[in-house]
Amino acid sequence: MSGTLNKEDIEHFIHHGFVRVDDSFTKEVADAVLEILWKDLPYDRSNPSTWTESVIRLGMYSQEPFVNSVNTPRLHNAFDQLVGKDKWIPCRSVGTFPVRFPSHRQPSDTGKHVDASFPGDDPNNYFGWRVNVRSKGRALLMLVLYSEVTEKDAPTVIYEGSHIDVAKLLAKKGDAGLSFIELAGMLDELPQRKAVYATGKPGTVYLCHPFLVHAAQAHRGSNPKFMAQPPLLLRGDLNISNTDADYSPVEHAIQLGLD
Protein backbone atom coordinates (compact mmCIF):
# COMPACT_ATOMS: atom_id res chain seq x y z
CA MET A 1 0.00 0.00 0.00
CA SER A 2 1.07 3.63 -0.42
CA GLY A 3 2.21 5.50 2.65
CA THR A 4 -0.45 6.21 5.28
CA LEU A 5 1.20 9.55 6.03
CA ASN A 6 2.16 12.18 3.49
CA LYS A 7 5.14 14.54 3.76
CA GLU A 8 3.07 17.19 5.57
CA ASP A 9 1.85 14.63 8.13
CA ILE A 10 5.40 13.56 8.91
CA GLU A 11 6.59 17.17 9.24
CA HIS A 12 3.66 17.85 11.57
CA PHE A 13 4.64 14.87 13.71
CA ILE A 14 8.28 16.01 13.92
CA HIS A 15 7.53 19.63 14.83
CA HIS A 16 4.18 19.38 16.64
CA GLY A 17 4.57 15.94 18.22
CA PHE A 18 1.57 14.06 16.88
CA VAL A 19 -0.39 13.09 13.81
CA ARG A 20 -4.04 12.09 13.58
CA VAL A 21 -4.88 8.97 11.56
CA ASP A 22 -8.59 8.68 10.74
CA ASP A 23 -10.31 5.39 9.86
CA SER A 24 -7.50 3.34 11.37
CA PHE A 25 -9.99 0.55 12.05
CA THR A 26 -13.69 -0.01 11.39
CA LYS A 27 -16.70 0.93 13.50
CA GLU A 28 -17.52 -2.79 13.68
CA VAL A 29 -14.22 -3.43 15.46
CA ALA A 30 -14.87 -0.48 17.79
CA ASP A 31 -18.36 -1.80 18.59
CA ALA A 32 -16.96 -5.25 19.40
CA VAL A 33 -14.48 -3.64 21.80
CA LEU A 34 -17.27 -1.67 23.51
CA GLU A 35 -19.36 -4.81 23.98
CA ILE A 36 -16.54 -6.40 25.95
CA LEU A 37 -15.74 -3.28 27.98
CA TRP A 38 -19.34 -2.64 29.03
CA LYS A 39 -19.52 -6.16 30.46
CA ASP A 40 -16.63 -5.29 32.76
CA LEU A 41 -18.16 -2.02 33.96
CA PRO A 42 -20.38 -1.98 37.08
CA TYR A 43 -22.95 0.21 35.32
CA ASP A 44 -26.07 -0.25 33.21
CA ARG A 45 -25.24 0.85 29.68
CA SER A 46 -28.78 2.09 29.08
CA ASN A 47 -29.21 3.89 32.42
CA PRO A 48 -27.02 7.00 32.90
CA SER A 49 -28.21 7.35 36.50
CA THR A 50 -25.99 4.37 37.34
CA TRP A 51 -22.85 6.13 36.03
CA THR A 52 -21.75 7.46 39.41
CA GLU A 53 -17.96 7.78 39.01
CA SER A 54 -16.20 10.27 36.75
CA VAL A 55 -13.63 7.67 35.63
CA ILE A 56 -13.19 3.92 35.94
CA ARG A 57 -9.98 2.23 34.82
CA LEU A 58 -10.12 -1.14 33.14
CA GLY A 59 -7.08 -3.36 32.67
CA MET A 60 -5.22 -4.86 29.77
CA TYR A 61 -7.17 -6.61 27.01
CA SER A 62 -5.83 -9.10 24.50
CA GLN A 63 -9.03 -10.34 22.83
CA GLU A 64 -9.16 -10.33 19.05
CA PRO A 65 -11.05 -7.03 18.51
CA PHE A 66 -8.55 -5.15 20.67
CA VAL A 67 -5.48 -6.59 18.98
CA ASN A 68 -7.00 -6.15 15.52
CA SER A 69 -7.75 -2.48 16.20
CA VAL A 70 -4.07 -1.55 16.60
CA ASN A 71 -2.65 -3.90 13.99
CA THR A 72 -4.27 -2.74 10.77
CA PRO A 73 -2.19 -2.31 7.60
CA ARG A 74 -2.92 1.43 7.79
CA LEU A 75 -1.38 1.73 11.26
CA HIS A 76 1.52 -0.65 10.58
CA ASN A 77 2.47 1.43 7.58
CA ALA A 78 2.38 4.60 9.67
CA PHE A 79 4.58 2.94 12.33
CA ASP A 80 7.14 2.13 9.63
CA GLN A 81 7.06 5.74 8.45
CA LEU A 82 7.49 7.28 11.91
CA VAL A 83 9.72 4.75 13.68
CA GLY A 84 11.35 2.73 10.91
CA LYS A 85 10.69 -0.66 9.39
CA ASP A 86 11.47 -3.58 11.75
CA LYS A 87 12.19 -1.16 14.63
CA TRP A 88 8.92 -1.64 16.54
CA ILE A 89 7.02 -4.53 18.14
CA PRO A 90 3.37 -5.19 17.17
CA CYS A 91 0.90 -4.71 20.03
CA ARG A 92 -0.42 -7.95 21.51
CA SER A 93 -2.70 -6.26 24.04
CA VAL A 94 -4.42 -2.92 24.53
CA GLY A 95 -4.85 -0.99 27.75
CA THR A 96 -5.36 0.49 30.12
CA PHE A 97 -8.75 2.08 29.52
CA PRO A 98 -9.59 5.19 31.58
CA VAL A 99 -13.32 5.13 30.81
CA ARG A 100 -14.65 8.64 31.45
CA PHE A 101 -18.27 9.36 32.33
CA PRO A 102 -20.25 12.61 32.25
CA SER A 103 -19.86 14.17 35.69
CA HIS A 104 -19.86 17.51 37.47
CA ARG A 105 -17.05 16.25 39.68
CA GLN A 106 -13.49 16.99 38.70
CA PRO A 107 -11.49 13.76 38.24
CA SER A 108 -8.27 13.45 40.20
CA ASP A 109 -6.06 12.43 37.26
CA THR A 110 -6.00 15.55 35.09
CA GLY A 111 -2.39 16.66 35.64
CA LYS A 112 0.05 17.19 32.79
CA HIS A 113 2.33 14.20 32.26
CA VAL A 114 4.56 12.24 29.91
CA ASP A 115 4.06 8.48 29.87
CA ALA A 116 7.02 6.56 31.31
CA SER A 117 8.84 3.89 29.33
CA PHE A 118 10.89 1.57 31.55
CA PRO A 119 10.73 0.38 35.17
CA GLY A 120 12.60 1.94 38.05
CA ASP A 121 13.64 0.17 41.25
CA ASP A 122 10.09 -1.13 41.83
CA PRO A 123 8.42 -2.31 38.60
CA ASN A 124 5.05 -2.40 40.39
CA ASN A 125 5.17 1.32 41.15
CA TYR A 126 4.25 3.14 37.94
CA PHE A 127 5.06 6.55 39.44
CA GLY A 128 8.64 5.28 39.72
CA TRP A 129 8.84 4.17 36.08
CA ARG A 130 11.25 6.26 34.05
CA VAL A 131 11.82 7.98 30.73
CA ASN A 132 15.17 8.99 29.24
CA VAL A 133 16.32 10.99 26.24
CA ARG A 134 16.59 7.83 24.12
CA SER A 135 12.98 6.93 24.99
CA LYS A 136 14.17 3.52 26.18
CA GLY A 137 11.52 0.92 25.35
CA ARG A 138 8.88 3.19 23.80
CA ALA A 139 8.53 4.23 20.17
CA LEU A 140 5.16 6.01 20.29
CA LEU A 141 2.25 6.89 22.52
CA MET A 142 -1.08 6.03 20.88
CA LEU A 143 -4.44 7.56 21.74
CA VAL A 144 -6.97 5.10 20.31
CA LEU A 145 -10.62 6.21 20.15
CA TYR A 146 -13.33 3.55 20.37
CA SER A 147 -16.22 5.97 20.94
CA GLU A 148 -16.96 9.31 19.32
CA VAL A 149 -15.12 12.06 21.19
CA THR A 150 -16.17 15.70 20.82
CA GLU A 151 -14.73 18.66 22.71
CA LYS A 152 -17.33 18.02 25.45
CA ASP A 153 -16.42 14.34 25.87
CA ALA A 154 -13.19 14.76 27.85
CA PRO A 155 -10.79 14.64 24.90
CA THR A 156 -7.15 14.24 25.87
CA VAL A 157 -5.38 17.61 25.91
CA ILE A 158 -2.23 17.52 23.77
CA TYR A 159 0.38 20.24 24.24
CA GLU A 160 1.61 20.88 20.73
CA GLY A 161 5.40 20.90 20.38
CA SER A 162 6.02 20.05 24.05
CA HIS A 163 7.99 16.94 23.08
CA ILE A 164 10.87 19.19 22.00
CA ASP A 165 10.94 20.87 25.43
CA VAL A 166 10.92 17.48 27.15
CA ALA A 167 13.77 16.20 24.97
CA LYS A 168 15.83 19.23 25.98
CA LEU A 169 15.08 18.56 29.65
CA LEU A 170 15.88 14.85 29.46
CA ALA A 171 19.14 15.46 27.63
CA LYS A 172 20.57 16.78 30.91
CA LYS A 173 19.65 13.63 32.86
CA GLY A 174 21.66 10.91 31.11
CA ASP A 175 20.61 7.29 30.60
CA ALA A 176 18.81 7.14 33.96
CA GLY A 177 16.47 9.90 32.92
CA LEU A 178 13.65 10.92 35.24
CA SER A 179 10.85 9.07 36.96
CA PHE A 180 7.25 9.67 35.89
CA ILE A 181 6.58 11.73 39.02
CA GLU A 182 9.85 13.70 38.81
CA LEU A 183 9.19 14.69 35.21
CA ALA A 184 5.54 15.55 35.91
CA GLY A 185 6.71 17.97 38.60
CA MET A 186 8.82 19.88 36.07
CA LEU A 187 6.32 20.26 33.24
CA ASP A 188 4.72 23.50 34.44
CA GLU A 189 8.15 25.14 34.18
CA LEU A 190 8.38 24.41 30.45
CA PRO A 191 7.36 26.99 27.81
CA GLN A 192 3.65 27.54 27.26
CA ARG A 193 2.36 25.41 24.39
CA LYS A 194 -0.89 25.45 22.43
CA ALA A 195 -3.52 22.99 23.70
CA VAL A 196 -5.04 20.68 21.06
CA TYR A 197 -7.94 18.32 21.77
CA ALA A 198 -7.80 14.68 20.66
CA THR A 199 -11.30 14.45 19.19
CA GLY A 200 -12.60 12.10 16.52
CA LYS A 201 -14.85 9.24 15.55
CA PRO A 202 -14.36 5.59 16.53
CA GLY A 203 -11.33 4.33 14.63
CA THR A 204 -9.37 7.56 15.03
CA VAL A 205 -5.84 7.11 16.38
CA TYR A 206 -3.45 9.85 17.43
CA LEU A 207 0.15 8.73 16.98
CA CYS A 208 2.17 10.80 19.43
CA HIS A 209 5.85 11.28 20.08
CA PRO A 210 6.73 9.47 23.33
CA PHE A 211 7.80 12.78 24.94
CA LEU A 212 4.56 14.62 24.17
CA VAL A 213 2.99 16.29 27.22
CA HIS A 214 -0.70 15.55 27.57
CA ALA A 215 -3.47 15.58 30.16
CA ALA A 216 -6.95 14.27 30.87
CA GLN A 217 -9.90 16.54 31.60
CA ALA A 218 -13.43 16.43 32.99
CA HIS A 219 -16.28 15.02 30.89
CA ARG A 220 -19.03 17.58 30.15
CA GLY A 221 -20.83 15.64 27.42
CA SER A 222 -23.50 12.95 27.56
CA ASN A 223 -21.89 9.69 26.36
CA PRO A 224 -19.04 7.81 28.06
CA LYS A 225 -15.63 8.16 26.46
CA PHE A 226 -13.74 4.98 25.59
CA MET A 227 -10.09 5.45 24.71
CA ALA A 228 -6.97 3.33 25.12
CA GLN A 229 -3.44 4.67 25.36
CA PRO A 230 -1.09 1.78 24.58
CA PRO A 231 2.58 2.24 23.86
CA LEU A 232 4.19 1.10 20.66
CA LEU A 233 7.27 -0.68 21.94
CA LEU A 234 10.74 -0.42 20.45
CA ARG A 235 12.56 -3.49 19.18
CA GLY A 236 15.97 -1.89 19.84
CA ASP A 237 17.32 1.54 20.77
CA LEU A 238 16.68 4.86 19.11
CA ASN A 239 19.69 6.49 17.47
CA ILE A 240 20.09 10.14 18.47
CA SER A 241 23.87 10.51 18.47
CA ASN A 242 25.18 9.59 15.01
CA THR A 243 25.27 12.80 13.01
CA ASP A 244 25.61 10.84 9.77
CA ALA A 245 22.50 8.78 10.44
CA ASP A 246 19.29 8.86 8.46
CA TYR A 247 17.07 9.69 11.42
CA SER A 248 13.49 8.44 11.68
CA PRO A 249 10.87 11.12 12.42
CA VAL A 250 10.81 10.06 16.10
CA GLU A 251 14.60 10.47 16.30
CA HIS A 252 14.58 13.68 14.27
CA ALA A 253 12.10 15.23 16.71
CA ILE A 254 14.38 14.45 19.66
CA GLN A 255 17.27 16.05 17.79
CA LEU A 256 15.29 19.30 17.61
CA GLY A 257 15.50 19.46 21.40
CA LEU A 258 19.23 18.76 21.42
CA ASP A 259 20.32 21.37 18.88
**Within a domain: 1:** no
Closest Cα partner for 246 from 89, 87, 77? Answer: 87
Give the C-alpha separation, 88 to 37, whole Å: 27
| Residue 229 maps to a domain | yes
pLDDT in the model for residue 243: 65
In CATH, what number is assigned to the domain containing residue 103?
2.60.120.620
Domain of residue 228: give its range: 7-258
DSSP 223: S
Cβ neighbors of 33 (< 8 A, separation 6 or more) are: 61, 65, 66, 69, 146, 226
**135 found inside a domain:** yes
| Residue at 215 is within a domain | yes
User: Is there a domain that residue 189 lies in?
Assistant: yes
| Chunked mean pLDDT (size 10), the chain, 259 residues | 88 98 98 98 96 93 97 98 96 93 84 92 86 96 98 97 97 94 95 97 98 96 96 92 81 91
Give yes or no for a contact between 202 and 251, defined as CB atoms under 8 angstroms apart: no
Question: How many domains does the chain contain in total?
Answer: 1
pLDDT at 107: 78
Q: What is the pLDDT of residue 147?
A: 98
Q: Is residue 2 part of a domain?
A: no
